[in-house]
Structure 1
Amino acid sequence: MEWFSKQRQSHARINAPALVQVAAIAIISTRCLDLFMLFNLMGMRGVADFVHRSVQTWSLTLVFLASLVLLCVEFRCAFVIMQGRNWGRWVYLATQVIAASYLGAASLGFGYPELFSISGETPRDIFTSLMMQKLPDMLVLLLLFMPAVSRRYFRLQ
């Protein structure tokens, strides 16, 4: 029973501010809710068709795999943010810039494939839809970067 007496070394902070906790939980919950709603909307058959369409060419496959990697990085960022690591919020910011840039470019016809794009009549409609989709992520970024307590929490690390 030697392993009961040893204390584990952890770099995690116990006293994360409430705003940081809310931001990390929001990242995880919005991503899980997005996946749940996608599966609910498309059904298992629709998801299988989506994956099948996504792997028909190399470029589609790379975009699909990149989106899955981006999802995993966002989950990792949420857990790292709870530990007080400053790089977690910067990587999360980078993921949001990458995702919004790609969605905007693909929706305006500059990126391939159109499978991963936002529909809209005009560029203004597309931009409005993109901003509405990214609003929760922008609010999370505000919680991580704007309040003094959040900045101080990440500066102390």
Structure 2
Amino acid sequence: MGFFKKTRHTHARLNVPALVQVAALAIILIRCLDMVMIFSTLGVHGISEFIHRSVQSWNLTLVFLSSLLLVFAEIYCAFSLVKGRNWARWVYMLIHAITTAYLWASSLGYGYPELFSIPGETKQEIFRTLMMQKLPDVLVLALLFIPPSSRRFFRLQ
């Protein structure tokens, strides 16, 4: 049983492993749920105030636009994963390495702005909270890199 299945109407169709499909769907759903939770928490007035605050300086505008770009890049990676693009899983991992490092630095007072910091009394408490926030993304990365069927799927493409 290979990854290609011939049908009468098409030449060869890509059979995506279930774990890769689950990972891609999870990326999209996690990001959509994040957006729904942000809109639910802040409301329309809070969102407009957040955007207004974000465009007060070049640094804040850059961070705001970068965060939006990263969300769109993650969703693009999810669609590319289903197409068997190996670079997509590496880009997805790089995005999470960057965001984790930025959140860690911002929470310790090295990053800008404080809006993207994680509250906590000690470094250990901040790190634990950060890892709990990143747990869904770590599980998605595990689905993309650990199972043999996922590795084989990306190797054959």
TM-score of the aligned structures, taking structure 2 as reference length: 0.91
In the TM superposition, residue 115 of structure 1 has moved relative to its aligned partner by: 1.4
- The aligned residue for residue 116 of structure 1 is 116
> What are the Cα deviations for residues 56-94 of structure 1, in whole angstroms up to 9, with x where unaligned?
111011000000000010000000000001000000000
Runs of 4+ in 1 over 6 A off after TM superposition: none
SS of the residue corresponding to residue 119 of structure 1 reads: coil
- Write the mapping of 1:96-111 to structure 2, written as runs, cut at 5 A: 96-111=96-111
- Residue segments in structure 2 that go unaligned for 5+ positions in a row: 1-8
In the TM superposition, residue 8 of structure 1 has moved relative to its aligned partner by: 9.6
RMSD across aligned positions (CA): 1.7
In the TM superposition, residue 14 of structure 1 has moved relative to its aligned partner by: 3.0
Contact 1:28 1:78 in 2 (8 A): yes
Partners in 2 of 1:51 and 1:118 — Cα distance? 20
Partners in 1 of 2:143 and 2:10 — Cα distance? 31
> What are the Cα deviations for residues 71-123 of structure 1, in whole angstroms up to 9, with x where unaligned?
01000000000000100000000000011010010010011111111111111
- The aligned residue for residue 4 of structure 1 is none
Partners in 1 of 2:55 and 2:115 — Cα distance? 11
What percentage of residue pairs aligned between the two structures are identical? 62
* Counterpart residue identity of residue 127, structure 1: F
Larger RCO: 1 or 2 (CA < 8 Å, sep 6+): 1
SS of the residue corresponding to residue 14 of structure 2 reads: coil
Change (3 A) 1:78 1:13: farther
Contact 1:13 1:84 in 2 (8 A): no
Q: Quick check: 1:51 aligned with 2:45? A: no
More divergent stretch after superposition (115-124 vs 76-85): 115-124
* Counterpart residue identity of residue 22, structure 2: V
Partners in 1 of 2:67 and 2:13 — Cα distance? 30
SS of the residue corresponding to residue 19 of structure 1 reads: helix
